Amino acid sequence: MTFRVSIVIPSLNAPTIEATLQSLYRQTAALSIAEILVVGLDNQQLIQAHPLLKWISTQRPVSAAVARNIGIRCAKSDWIAFIDADCIAAADWLEQLIAAATSQHLIIGGSVIIASPNQWTFADNLAMFHSLVPSLPATTRTALPTLNLLIARSVIDHVGLLDERFMGAAGEDFDWTLRMHQSGYTLQFAPRAQIHHRPARGNLASLMVHSWKSGYNMNIVRQRYATYYPASKIFQYPFLLQALAPLIGLITAVKIVARANLGRRSIHVLPKIWLAKTAWCLGAALQAAIIARSGKKPDSTI
């Protein structure tokens, strides 16, 4: 297959956007890049002109789903790659994504390097992306995030764009790729396609807010695709979930840290991931309560 790839990056005044772009300009598969579309706001004018770059201003803050959909509509290639504005791509990132693509594998997601000198950032990354570390084997998945993803346009034409009712940047990508899986497509995890994730979440407050928002939106996804989350019946009982949030958070955190094999660092990381997962459960509990009170389907409560 001959690959020409459009790369889409949503960016809401991201301070790291230029570093992200520089990592893309240095790709070993640079000849396969047709264009790089950055969609959003750049109030500090950090984005510098480049032959591959197409800047699309949204004039106002928009959600990640809206920004990515704008990028998809403007993209001119048969393959579209997604990366976030707080990510740094490894030099062979795109090459590895392309290498994993076949006529049967039209959706490929890469891995996330979670190393960070900041303990809060490290905990945030490990809590959210522990299932995407590079040491895991190449396997098929039921869902993949959009911070490191390659998709054939034909798939998007079939399943549609991201659901723009998801606010912020949480859950909309899992909802989208679960829709692809449900439509019969194979989602392939390619651990050699690596990105460094460097979010601006370096303290307790930012960790808790991010985790809470993720839990809130992901409960909608869990209810929509209950077949893929059979162990999640508790998410239908908001008050029970709220009461058990610290315990569920602790059990989940222990499992994540044990699998990560962090050694002595576990002592410092475990409490932070426990807080993150407790906040996640509290966000999910609120969304479950809204669903229960409204008596409507999850689609109506975003």
Domain, as residue range, for 179: 5-197
Cα gap 120→124, rounded to integer Å: 6
Cα gap 129→1, rounded to integer Å: 31
Kindly state whether residue 44 falls inside one of the protein's structural domains. Answer: yes
**Residue 245, CB-side half-sphere exposure with 13 Å CA sphere:** 21
The pLDDT of residue 81 is above 80: yes
pLDDT at 298: 58
pLDDT digits (tens, 9 = 90+) for 27-61: 999 999 999 999 999 888 888 889 999 999 999 99
23 shares its domain with 156: yes
pLDDT digits (tens, 9 = 90+) for 137-176: 999 999 999 999 999 999 999 999 999 988 777 889 999 9
Q: How confident is the model at residue 240 (pLDDT cuts 50, 70, 90)?
A: very high
231 shares its domain with 138: no
102 shares its domain with 119: yes
| CA quadruple 138, 17, 47, 25: dihedral sign | negative
Q: Specify the DSSP class assigned to residue 28.
A: T
The pLDDT of residue 253 is above 80: yes
Cα gap 261→251, rounded to integer Å: 16
Domain count, the chain: 2
pLDDT digits (tens, 9 = 90+) for 272-290: 999 999 999 999 999 989 8
pLDDT digits (tens, 9 = 90+) for 193-204: 999 999 888 899
Cα gap 200→207, rounded to integer Å: 10
State the residue for tokens 């590895």. 96
227 shares its domain with 133: no
Show which of 169, 197, 225 is a domain's final residue.
197
The pLDDT of residue 301 is above 60: no
Instruction: Give me the percent of the chain exceeding a pLDDT of 70.
Output: 96
